Structure 1
Amino acid sequence: MLFYMLLSYAAASGPSWLIAASFQTTVVAGMLCAPLLYDDVRARIPRAALGVGVLIIAGVLLMQFGHAQGALDAKGWIALLCVVASAFAYPLGNRGLLLHLERTGVELNATQRVFGLTLASQPAWLALAAWAWLQAGPPSSSQLWLALGVAISAGVIATILFFQATGMVRDNATALGAAEAMQAAEVIFAMLLGVAFLGEAWPRGQALAGAALVVAGIVLFAWIVAHDARRSAREADALQTDRGS
């Protein structure tokens, strides 16, 4: 819930592609949270993956300052801090839930995990909705339809797919970081949809260069995971050969 609240608040301060790009700090956030959650080999922060994460962060900052012509105002900094806090809350909650299920020996699929998180947070959501009703009144029909679309596409479909992906690689720190990094692709989709449907301007100059760095980070993460997979396969083959001889 904290993730959605902070991200929604920040979304009112700038174009969609800018908020989407800033949220990519979750790439580094997930890895930095690992030592706080795990007490085994997964607590180690992969250096190569962290390096790529820093590259993505550099792209995010470049987009932020490019959008603000080199300087962020107070509203921009508040929005950036909200997005960063949201970026830490997301992997912390997901990884924490996976670790809890692992320690208790309970197996839940992605759909069950999303349903459990949704059900447990309902009281807080209802309280927030009641407060918003008192402050701004009931939502319009267009807002209801928009909220329904976001809930189905992002809250149900995308979240279930993401939870499924992270659950499949929960024991591989690099692959888990890469799965979280794939969210960086949303920058491109947010940019295209914002320009097409919301009348937002195309990113230019520093902002465009920052977007390119974010995309480059995705490609590098994919390469690192593939490289680690090939190395693990070679080590397994070598071990099997030694045992056979």
Structure 2
Amino acid sequence: MNETTADTRRALAAVVIALASALFFTLTYVLNRASAIDGGHWAWTASLRYLITLPLLLPLMPWQGGVAPAWRAIRAHPWVWLRCSAIGFVGFYVLLCYAADSGPSWLVAGSFQFTVIAGMLCAPLIYRDARRRIPRAALAIGAVIVAGVLLLQFGHADGALDRAGWIALACVLGAAVMYPLGNRLLLLHLERTGEDLNATQRVFGMTLASQPLWIAIAAFAWHEAGVPSAGHVWLAGGVALSAGVIATILFFQATGMVRDNPAALGAAEAMQAAELLFATVLGVVFLHEAWPRGIAIWGAVLVVLGIVAFAALVARRSAGSLPRTRALRTDRGA
């Protein structure tokens, strides 16, 4: 087998693995919607996921650099970790769970894809070097994705969003911004301190640092809704296992396999677009949700095209430069 054939097979394998990760990421939207339909309180849905994710991550850490480096980093700068996790984990997921009460899983999944370019749009707020510049091409892609999100929302609402619809849209877009923002703020902090943590250690560290806030949110949920049902706990555990562990590992494996191949890396990351398709099919089959119709379909098309265009932009801008490839990778890791 020559080198070209091996690279091609590796790229195809990475795309397949990335597609599988998108399926497991999609379960977040579907299971959260199932919890909402079943009457589960959004605060329990949010807090249970991360309270369950922490013990699920512990057995993996010996193979991912260990717990000690992350624990030392948190002890050295506890308030930084608390702030970053409050933004990137707590704020993000509370808003996403609150929005799950508003409409079908495909609506939340499609709107959340704004996160693909949200991190780049946040750059001027957090960087003081060349990274703060937003490429015009990225702005254009962002406009396409935002247009698709708006069409999704207006299509679902038959052309007129009510107050609840606008609140839900604001929650999803807020979550889409807070997720990469918290991750990038932490990466910037680690860059300044020189602490070397891999992606899994960062996920573990932010999960650990956010536990006091999740306990407080769980206490609020207990006060508002009482003890969660066994079904609600199982659904939250499913999200923790599928999105917090399986999907993340698969995504890191896929992008790691082609980290030196910008075109293949972009293709693997573009598989995020499949989340919208998976959420639609799973929501219709298992939750008896309505298919997207009318302008919502065109919104879904625009979102998918925007993600593919962004992946192509990543490949083109990082071609021949491994540091730039790493810098432009998406914020799925935290």
TM-score of the aligned structures, taking structure 2 as reference length: 0.62
Q: Distance in 2 between matches of 1:128 and 1:186?
A: 28
Aligned residue number for residue 97 of structure 1: 186
**Which string of whole-angstrom CA distances, capped at 9 and with x for unpartnered residues, describes residues 54-94 of structure 1?**
11111111111011010001111111111111111111001
Deviation at 1:178, TM superposition (A): 9.5
Select 1:72's aligned residue among 153, 156, 161. 161
Aligned residue number for residue 241 of structure 1: none
Change (3 A) 1:130 1:166: farther
Deviation at 1:122, TM superposition (A): 0.4
Aligned residue number for residue 84 of structure 2: none
Q: Any unmatched runs of 5+ in structure 1?
A: 169-175, 234-245
Select 1:129's aligned residue among 213, 218, 222. 218
Aligned residue number for residue 192 of structure 1: 281
Whichever residue aligns with residue 163 of structure 2, its letter is: A
Q: Any unmatched runs of 5+ in structure 2?
A: 1-89, 258-264, 323-334
**Which string of whole-angstrom CA distances, capped at 9 and with x for unpartnered residues, describes residues 13-32 of structure 1?**
10001011111222342122
Deviation at 1:127, TM superposition (A): 1.0
Contact residue 52 and residue 221 of structure 1 kept, 8 A: yes
Q: Distance in 2 between matches of 1:33 and 1:223?
A: 20
Deviation at 1:103, TM superposition (A): 1.1
Contact residue 195 and residue 202 of structure 1 kept, 8 A: yes
Contact residue 123 and residue 131 of structure 2 kept, 8 A: yes
Q: Distance in 2 between matches of 1:228 and 1:62?
A: 29
RMSD: 2.9
**Which string of whole-angstrom CA distances, capped at 9 and with x for unpartnered residues, describes residues 28-49 of structure 1?**
4212210111111111101112
Deviation at 1:182, TM superposition (A): 5.6
Whichever residue aligns with residue 42 of structure 1, its letter is: R
Contact residue 152 and residue 296 of structure 2 kept, 8 A: yes
Whichever residue aligns with residue 112 of structure 1, its letter is: Q
**Number of residue equivalences:** 229
Aligned residue number for residue 237 of structure 1: none
Aligned residue number for residue 240 of structure 1: none
Deviation at 1:162, TM superposition (A): 5.8
Matched, 1:120 2:222: no
Aligned residue number for residue 242 of structure 1: none
Q: Distance in 2 between matches of 1:182 and 1:40?
A: 30
Change (3 A) 1:51 1:165: farther
Matched, 1:217 2:296: no
Deviation at 1:158, TM superposition (A): 3.2
Matched, 1:38 2:131: no
Select 2:106's aligned residue among 17, 26, 32. 17
Q: Distance in 1 between matches of 2:160 and 2:109?
A: 19
Deviation at 1:216, TM superposition (A): 1.0
Whichever residue aligns with residue 157 of structure 1, its letter is: I
Task: Report which stretch shifted further, 218-227 or 104-113.
Answer: 218-227
Q: What is the SS of the residue equivalent to 1:213?
A: helix
Deviation at 1:177, TM superposition (A): 10
